[in-house]
Amino acid sequence: MTFRETLTEKVKQAFIKAGYDEAYGLVTVSNRPDLCQYQCNGALPLAKVYKKKPMDIAEEIASHLKDDEVFKSVIACPPGFLNISVSDKALTDYINYMQTAEKFGFEETEEKKTAIIDYGGANVAKSLHVGHLRSAIIGESVKRILRFSGHNAIGDVHLGDWGLQMGIVISGIIEQFGIPKLQTEEQREKNITISVLEKTYPAKSKEAKENEEVMAECKRLTKELQKGEGIYFDIWKTVLKVSKADLKRNYQRLGVNFELWYGESDTRNVTGPMIEDLKQRGFAHMDDGALVIDIAEETDNPPLPPFILEKSDGAILYSTTDLATILQRQDEFDPGLILYIVDNRQGTHFKQLFRTAEKTGLKSPKAELFFAGFGTMNGADGKPYKTREGGVMRLEDLLNTLESEALKKVQAAITSGEISDEEMNHIAHIVGIGAVKFADLSNHRSKDYVFDIDKFCSFDGKTGPYIQYSAVRIASILRKLDIKNKDILQPEGDIQRELFLFLTEFPYAVRQSAEDYAPNTLAEYIYQLAVLLNRYYHEYKVLAEQDETKKASRASTLSLAYNLLSCLLDLLGIEIPERM
Ligand code: ARG
C-alpha cells in the first residue's frame, strides 16, 4: 500500500464506524498545502445521499480519527471538507520502510500481462530519421514502466523489411552490380555495404517516383521477393543483415534495446494461409482488382475505408503484414496487450487494422490492441523538423548535433580536475541523449513539440541536463559519505517534511504513466523531485554537520532520494553521467 492508501484505509474505517459508505473515504493530496497535507471531500456528496449537513458528517468523521496517532490533525472545514495532516512519526516510519523495501515499496499490478510493445519501426535499407526517434524514446520508456509495474513487457522493433522499399533497393543494387556479381553470399557481402545502401534507396526511389517503368520494375521485384526464394530473396537477405547491424548500432547509441528483431517479412508464412482463410470465410472480396475487407460501420464518421489485403498485382502490403503479425504474436506469446507506439498520422491505418482483426475474429479475445500514437517533432516553423535544405533529417545527424551542443555545455561546466577527451565526449553523449529524451517525454506523447536544442540542452529549467546535473551533485556528496542506510530521523523542518511527503507519492506517477502509456506524468514527477532535492540539500548541509546522528539521517535521506531519482530516470531511459 502507498502511504496515501494507508490514510484512505483509516478514513474509510471512520466512515464505516459512523455508519456511512466507505467509498466516500478517498484521501487525496491537499490542494491547499498551506492548510493541510491531505484532504478528503467525501462528506460533501455523502450529505446529499443521507440528507444531512456536510459539516455535521465531516465533524463526525473527524471525531473518529482524532485519537489515531497517524494523524497530527483532522479538521472539519466548511462547507464539509476534512483537512488532514499526518504525524511526523507516521511519515518517517513510511520513509524508513521505503528505504529497505524492494522497489521503494512500489506494489506491482495484480493483473500482470504479457505485453508486446511495437516500437522503433525502422525500415530496412532506409536511414533512421527523426520520425523514428519519438517511437524509440517513448516505446523504450513505456516498456520499462510497464515492466516496473510487473508486466512481462516485450519490445519488438517490427522492421519494415517486406514492402515496396525493398523492391526499390533490390532494383538499385542490381543496377549497380549486375546479377552475375551478386550470385554468392561472399560477393553480395562484399558489394552491399551500408554506404551503398544509404545511397541506393534515395536515388532509386526518386527515379521510381518520376518514371513509371522504373516503378513498375520495383513493384515486380517486390512481388518476386515476396515469394520468399530465388536471387532477389538472396539479395534481400544480405541487405537485411547489413542494415540490421547498422540499425542496432544506432539504437544502441540511443540506449534503446529490443527483445525481438522481427520484421514484416517474418509473417511470410502466415500471410498466404491467412488470406486464404479470409477468402473462404467470406470476409475478403475483390474490389477494383484488389483483395479487400469491408469494415465500415454505420456509426463511423467518416466511414473507415476498406482494409486492403492484396494489391491488384498480387503484392501484399503494410496492412497485410500488420494483420498477420497479430496472428503471429498471439501464436508465440499469447499476449494480453499489443501496444503500438506509432506516429499519430498512422491512426487510421490502426483503426482499420483493429477493426479488421476484431471483425474477422483473428484477434484473440484475450489480446487488447492499443494504438499509442505520438505527435510530430516540429521545427521552429511549426512543420515537421527538417534539415536546413528542407530534406528529411537523418537521426544520426540529429544526434551528432545534440551531442556537440551538449559537449559545449559540459566543457563550460567542467572546469576543474583532469578529464580526458574520451570521458568528456562520453559525458556529452549521455547529456545530449538525455536532453532530447527528457524534452520528448515531458510532453504527453500525443502532442507535437518544437525541437529547440538550446532549451533542451540548458542546465536550467525543466530539462534533462538540469535533472542530471542535480543528480550528479548529490552523487558527489554521497560519495564522500559513509552511507550506512541508518534510520532516517523525523523531519528537521518544512522542506524535509515536504520532501518526505513527495517521496511517498512516486507510485502514483508511475501508475499514471503505465495506465496512459505516456511517460510525461513520471517525467514531471522526476523534475519536481530534483527541484525539491536541490532545496533540501541547500537547506540541510550533510558533510559539514557535526551531530553524527543527524548527519547519518540526512545522508540516508539524500541517498534514498537519489536512489529513487536514478531508478525513475532509468524508467525514462535517461542515464546519469559520472560528473558534469
Ligand atoms: N515502419 C513503419 C514506418 O516507418 C512503422 C512501423 C510501425 N509498426 C507497425 N506495426 N506498423 O512508418
Q: How confident is the model over 508-529, as pLDDT tens digits? A: 999 999 999 999 999 999 999 9
Secondary structure element (H or E) that encloses residue 343, with its range: strand 337-343
Q: What is the pLDDT of residue 185?
A: 95
C-alpha span between 512 and 508 (Å, rounded):
6
Q: What is the mean pLDDT of residues 115-142?
A: 94
Alpha-carbon 428 to chain mean position: 23
- According to DSSP, the residues that pair with 153 across neighbouring strands are 115
Distance between CA atoms of 325 and 307, rounded to whole angstroms?
Answer: 15
For residue 346, the CA-to-ligand 1 centroid distance in Å is 9
Choice from 156, 158, 343 to test ligand 1 binding pocket (greatest atom count within 8 A of CB): 158
- Per-residue pLDDT of 257-310, as tens digits, reads 999 999 999 999 999 999 999 999 999 999 999 999 999 999 999 999 999 999
Model confidence at 77: pLDDT above 90: yes
What phi and psi values does residue 450 have, to the nearest 5 degrees? -100, 130
Q: How many CA atoms lie within 13 A of 358 on its CB side?
A: 12
8-state DSSP, 230? S
Give the SS3 label for residue 108.
coil
Residue 393 has φ and ψ, to the nearest 5°, of -80, 125
Which of 116, 123, 350 should be mutated for ligand 1, with most atoms under 8 A from CB? 123
What is the tens place of the pLDDT at every residue in 302-314? 999 999 999 988 8
Is any atom of ligand 1 closer than 6 Å to the C-beta of 562?
Answer: no
Q: Which residues are CB-contacts of 41 (< 8 A; sequence separation ≥ 6)?
A: 28, 80, 81, 82
C-alpha cell at 392: 528529411
- Residues ≥6 apart with Cβ < 8 Å to 180: none
Ligand 1 centroid – CA 297 distance (Å): 26
Expressed in angstroms and rounded, the spacing between residue 437 Cα and the centre of ligand 1 is 20
Q: Report the distance separating Cα 303 and Cα 224, nearest Å.
A: 34
What does the pLDDT average to over 223-252?
95
Mean pLDDT of all residues in 345-365 = 98
What is the best residue among 346, 369, 374 to mutate for testing ligand 1's pocket, by most ligand atoms within 8 Å of CB? 346
Q: Quick one: which of 329, 332, 313 has its CA closest to 321?
A: 329
CB of 121 sitting under 6 A from ligand 1: yes
Average pLDDT over residues 98-120: 97
Question: Residue written as cell 496472428?
Answer: 327
Mean pLDDT of 176-187: 96
Alpha helices in 414-463 (DSSP H): 421-441, 453-457
Ligand 1 centre to CA of 135 (Å) is: 9
Predicted confidence band at 389 (pLDDT cuts at 50, 70, 90)?
confident
Q: Which of 523, 502, 549 is nearest to 104 (CA)?
A: 502
Q: Is ligand 1 within 6 A of the CB of residue 322?
A: yes
Confidence of residue 417 (pLDDT cuts 50, 70, 90): confident
Mean residue pLDDT of the chain comes to 95
CA angle 56, 60, 62 (to 5 degrees): 115
- Residue whose C-alpha is closest to residue 400's, from 128, 194, 203: 128
Q: Would you say the CB of residue 263 lies under 6 angstroms from ligand 1?
A: no
Residue with the smallest CA separation from ligand 1 atom 11 is: 322
The residues that bridge with 71 in the sheet, in sequence order, are 86
Q: How far apart are CA 248 and CA 120, in angstroms?
A: 11
Tell me the average pLDDT across 556-565. Answer: 96
Q: How far apart are the first and last CA of the chain?
A: 37
DSSP 176: H
Q: In what side-by-side order are the strands of the sheet with 152-156?
A: 152-156, 114-118, 337-343, 368-374
| Residues 313-322, mean pLDDT to the nearest whole number | 93
Atom of ligand 1 nearest to the CA of 123: 1
Residue with cell 554537520: 545
Query: Does 107 have pLDDT greater than 80?
Result: yes
- Ligand 1 mutation pick, 126, 159, 342, max ligand atoms within 8 A of CB: 342
Is the CB of 437 inside a 6 Å radius of any atom of ligand 1? no
Any alpha helices (H) in 289-372, and if so which ranges? 318-333, 347-359
Residue-wise pLDDT tens digits, 472-486: 999 999 999 987 767
- Closest by Cα among 515, 511, 506 to 533: 506
Average pLDDT score over residue span 363-392: 92
267 touches ligand 1 (CB under 6 Å):
no
Can you read off the three cell numbers belonging to residue 14? 471512520
Grid cell 513527495 in the structure block, residue: 502
pLDDT of residue 426: 97
Express as a percent the part of the chain with pLDDT over 70.
100
Atom 12 (ligand 1) nearest CA: 121
What grid cell was written down for 328?
Answer: 503471429
Place of cell 504474436: 329
pLDDT, residue 483, reads: 78
State residue 377's pLDDT score: 93
Distance 335 CA to ligand 1 centre (A): 19
Cα gap 238→310, rounded to integer Å: 26
Q: Which residues pair with 40 in a beta bridge?
A: 82
Is 342's C-beta closer than 6 angstroms to any atom of ligand 1?
yes
Residue 491: is the preceding peptide bond cis (ω within 30°)?
A: no
Three cell numbers written together for 57: 458528517
Say yes or no: CB of residue 165 within 6 Å of ligand 1: no
Give φ, ψ of 483 to 5 degrees.
-80, 120
Instruction: Average the pLDDT over 241-256 and give the result.
Output: 96
Q: Which atom of ligand 1 is nearest to the CA of 132?
A: 4
Q: All 3 cell numbers of residue 437?
A: 529524451
Ligand 1 centre to CA of 263 (Å) is: 10
What residue ranges define each of the domains in the chain, with the CATH number in brackets?
3-86 (3.30.1360.70), 164-253 (no CATH), 395-571 (1.10.730.10)
pLDDT of residue 390: 82
Closest C-alpha to ligand 1, atom 3: 121
The three-state DSSP-derived secondary structure of 250-281 is HHHHHCCCCCECCEHHHHHHHHHHHHHHHHHC
Of residues 433 and 384, more confidence is placed in 433
CA-to-CA distance for 146 and 514, rounded, in angstroms? 6
155-172: average pLDDT? 96
Assess contact for 71 and 14: CB atoms under 8 A.
no
Quick check: 131 pLDDT over 90?
Answer: no
**Residue spans of beta strands (DSSP E) within 443-518:** 449-450
DSSP state of 160: B
